Each structure stands twice: as C-alpha cells, then as structure tokens.
Amino acid sequence: MSEWVSHPDQVDRLVRQWAEQYPHSLKAEARQQHSGRPVWALTVTDTRVEREKPAAMFYTPHAHEPAPVAGQMNIVSQLLTGAELDGTPTRLPREDILASVELCFMPDANPAGTAAAPVECWDGSQYTNEEFWAWMRGVDPETGKMWKRVGIWDDSVEDALPLRYGIVYEQISEHEYVEPNRHHRSSLFQWIFELRGRRTWDLALDLHQTELCGNTNTAFVIYPCLFDEQPPEIQEKERRWAERIIAAWDAIDGARPIRETKPLNYTGEQRQYFVDCWGDLYQDTVLLTTEIRNNSLICGAECQQAHNEAAIVATIEELMGE
C-alpha cells in the first residue's frame, strides 16, 4: 500500500509543497473553517494547454470516512509528481490526463472533524461499530451510544448535548454545527456553489464509506435519490460510469463489490435532506456516490485505499472517453 495521508496537517503540508513546485499543474484554493483549518479545492490540469476541457469533481464530505482523503491525495501525487506518495512510479498516463481534462479534488470537506478522530484509518482493529458510531455523531448522554443525526444543530439551545461532539459535524459558528452534505452552510456546499459558478462538471464523484454490517461486500455504487427523475441522458451516463467503477473494483485482489447499482434508498426526513440540498444539482450533473467498507477487518487500510483510487481512476477514464 502506498503511504496513507489523511490527517489535515499532512494534507496541508503536501498541498502547499505541491502548489509551489507545480504551478502549471495545480491551483490550490482554500476556504477557512470556523476552526481555522483550510478546506482545499485542488484544480489539477496542465494550464499551458489552453482549450476547454471536460471536467470532473471529487469530494469527501465526512470526517469519519478518511480513506477517500488518502485515495485522493495519492492520485493527486501521481498526477503532479509522477509517483505515488511512497515513491512508487505511477502507472497513470499523467501527461495525457493533465493535457486532456480538468480535475477538481476536495480531499476533505471537514478537516477539523478529521483531525479530532482517534485514528487515521478505521480498520476495525480498535473500535467496535457502536464505539465508532459514537465517535461519528457523538455520545448520547442518556444511552452512552450514538447521538442523533441532524442537518444542523445549535449547542446553545439543545436540550441534551452529546457528551462528546461527533466528528461528522462541522462547526460553522460559535454554537452551530452541520453535517456537511446535508446543509448549504457547510464548507462543502459553499465550495460547490462557488466552483459551479465558474463552470459545470461533466462528472461528480461523491466519495464515502459505510460499515456494510451483515455481509462480506467491500463496496457499492449509488445513484442519486432522484435518479428516476433525472433526464434520460444523465441516467444513461450514470449507468455506464457505474459499470466502469465496478469493473475497476473487480480487478482488486479480494474485492467483493455489490454488482447492482440502485438510487439512494433513504426515506422520510433523511431523504428530504438530499432532495432539498442536492435536487437542483441532480438535474444537470452526472453524479455518483461510492461507498467503501469502513471499520472492518474485512477491508483494512490497503483495501479501502485501493477501492477509492480505482473509482477515481475509472472516473478519469470515463471523462477521457477511454
């Protein structure tokens, strides 16, 4: 496995180093969280090739899902330096990629949350899922287990505060916290609005992890919850792209991806968050979500990183029409 880089201090150091060394290939921009940590948007392309290029966006909303951070950082390293983070020469056709497409990476939309995690990789060796979930959303003061899931909350008005705040939530003011992919005031959405004001993306990959309790699968792809209402041409592109990602996972030793891709299956209030936050985007953006197994001995760090990198590379290939 290549070097695992997910802690924000490591990410910040590498991004600043790369921005200085590769000014023609990397535009590194940051929005500052309430905590003071930068949320990076990394545009990777050869700026000396002056033509309109197809574009893709990659982003990691959740601080308890660090493998997509590690995967994005290792892919960016290969595109810029020609080598993985451990020095292994890349197999990617980096010059063709840089000349042909524009890639925007948001490795970590909530670095303050990531920095507060007790581990840099949830590999199932140190925490049970119940303990992991309590780190994710916080510790309920009555049950000692996982606190509630909400889009936004205010610790000055909550009746019963968590004993420990969950790392999934991003602090956006002195007292307010949001789940990044469920509220428009998050750094994730503020970046999405700003970046889409400059240009649209041909593909957008939403990188996640989940616990996949009760089975031995390692990954799956999800269509948007409004998939059935998307324009037919977007649906077809999402189907083809999902098949390419699953095929890329098949090449990973020990991978067991779920073969069928379905729309996000939340109901009620949880589904409404996505309709409210993402509904407009779904109508003109080809968007998929990947879920890689988290906090499980079945899929440790190497497995998690390999799945995320394979999905990113498959997306780049889809964008290039290969």
pLDDT digits (tens, 9 = 90+) for 276-317: 999 999 999 999 999 999 999 999 999 999 999 999 999 999
Confidence of residue 165 (pLDDT cuts 50, 70, 90): very high
Number of domains in the chain: 1
Tell me the one-letter amino acid at 86.
Answer: D
User: Residue written as tokens 């930068």?
Assistant: 38
Domain that holds residue 235: 8-114+181-320
Q: Is residue 176 part of a domain?
A: no
- Indicate whether 322 pLDDT > 80: no
Nearest CA among 55, 52, 53, 26 for reference residue 41: 26
Residue pair 11/108 in contact by the 8 Å Cβ criterion: yes
Per DSSP, 295 falls in state: S
Q: Is residue 3 part of a domain?
A: no
Mean pLDDT of 168-173: 98
Q: Is residue 27 part of a domain?
A: yes
What's 303's domain CATH number?
3.40.630.10
Q: DSSP characters for 127-191?
A: --HHHHHHHHHBB-TTTSSB----SEEETTT-SS--SSB-TTSEE-SSSEEE-GGG-TTSHHHHH
How many helices (H) and strands (E) the chain has is answered by 9, 11
- Indicate whether 321 pLDDT > 80: yes
CA-atom Rg of the chain in angstroms: 19
Mean pLDDT of 134-142: 97
Q: Is residue 43 part of a domain?
A: yes
- For the stretch 55-104, pLDDT in tens is 999 999 999 999 999 999 999 999 999 999 999 999 999 999 999 999 99
Taking the whole predicted model, whether its pTM rises above 0.75 is answered as yes
- Indicate whether 1 pLDDT > 70: no
Rounded distance, CA 263 to CA 129, Å? 25
Q: Is residue 157 part of a domain?
A: no
Q: Is residue 171 part of a domain?
A: no
Q: Is residue 34 part of a domain?
A: yes
Rounded distance, CA 168 to CA 183, Å? 13
Q: Is residue 145 part of a domain?
A: no
Q: How high does pLDDT run on average in the chain?
A: 97
The predicted pLDDT at position 2 comes to 74
Confidence of residue 209 (pLDDT cuts 50, 70, 90): very high
